Amino acid sequence: MDRATLALSHTGIDAVREVQVPEAEGTIKPDTYAALVELASPVSRHAEEATAHVARMRAHVRAPGTTLLGAGIHPDGAFGDVVHVDEARYHEIHRQLRGLLRRTPTCALHVHVGMPDAETAVRAFNALREHLPLLQALAANSPFWHGRDSGLATARAQLFRGYPRADIARAYDSFEDWAEEVRWVVAAGDAPDYTFLWADLRLHPRLGTVEVRAMDAQSSPRTVAGLAALVQGLARAGAEHGGAGTPRVALVESSFRAARDGMAATILHDGALRPVAEVGAAALALARPYARELGSDGPLEEVDRLLREGGGADRQRAAHARGGMRALLELLVAETAERYG
């Protein structure tokens, strides 16, 4: 963002060029939009370690004077204020998506959980599907778009739904079942490979992970850690016990309710609509023993806090009510600069 106006600044590539980070500490690179910088932690044992890497990389990017904002979309970015990164992958994405990619930059928090083998990955994948609406609500952090309240808790999620192959996949019987479907979709979409399937959750065999992609980018590092710890614990539980196989259409509908209403939503849980607070408490009870085993139970206190006090969308609206768009942007910048670990 521009340091003075806090408007979008299409200088992400410049920011990346100015920063040198050892590979052991993570990677900093451009991604799709020139106003976007992607920070990727190295492989980490638990959520606190990964988040500490991300927070340090944020500090490295800010050091030359760059202003960062962590959110699903820039709350005041003008429609069409977009510059794309000049790389082959992003040219191909633009060729496919055209005007859909020329609205406003979007930014998500992705959490990869390493898997020991393909069948365990499928089992964890099927289980994590059930939690995607909850994760959508907990992470909702983009209520404003183009300077106005969208009426949604995460406008980013609905912008992203406009892309092909960008909702919730079905449950799979096996890794071969997944691979066969991917072959059909890649062929039908004339896509280079499976990484052009942008669902809220996907298998990533190239990295050996299950990747959760449903969540808005976050300003607060504490929230990053809490969400990552919850995902890790739920993935570990799912790897052991599998999932319920709720139909895709039902999960997509529940995910929309989560995106619209955020922490105030009622979402599908055990076949009925339940408040996010109730669903979140059940997910924490399931994840906590596994998170403790993995060393990630500490950050789950942040998920408890989100359920009690509200999340990023609630803080954004409260800041806007206090002092308008400038106060909202200043809040996001300050939270994005917070230290962690």
Task: Report the CATH number at residue 86.
Answer: 3.30.590.20
341 has a pLDDT exceeding 90: no
**Positions of E strands within 201-277:** 201-204, 209-216, 266-269, 272-275
In a domain, 210, yes or no: yes
Alpha carbon distance 211, 80 (integer Å): 29
Domain-located, residue 3: no
pLDDT bucket at 261, cuts 50 / 70 / 90:
very high
- According to the model, what pLDDT value does residue 239 have? 97
pLDDT of 182 over the 90 cut: yes
Q: Which of 14-23, 118-127, 157-166 has the lowest mean pLDDT?
A: 14-23
**Structure tokens that stand for 306 in this block:** 């989100």
Q: What is the pLDDT of residue 178?
A: 98
> What does the block give as tokens for 74?
């820039």
Record the pTM.
0.97
| pLDDT at residue 221 in the model | 98
pLDDT at position 266:
98
**What are the angstrom distances between the C-alpha of 215 and each of 59, 164, 312?**
22, 18, 11
Q: What is the pLDDT of residue 264?
A: 98
Longest dimension (CA), the chain: 54
**Residue 300, in any domain of the structure:** yes
pLDDT at 297 over 90: yes
Number of residues that this document lists for the chain: 341
Nearest-CA neighbor of 258 among 169, 166, 132? 132
101 touches 94 (CB < 8 A) = yes
DSSP string spanning 31-91? ESEEEEEEEEPPP-SSHHHHHHHHHHHHHHHHTTT-----SSS-TTPPTT---B--SHHHH
Question: Is 341 a domain residue?
Answer: no
User: Model confidence over 321-334: pLDDT tens digits?
Assistant: 999 999 999 999 99
Inside any domain, residue 139: yes
The pLDDT tens digits of the residues spanning 310-324 come to 999 999 999 999 999
Tally of domains within the chain: 1
Cα dist from 338 to 52, 69, 211, 218, 341, whole Å: 11, 11, 26, 12, 10
Domain enclosing residue 206, as ranges: 12-336
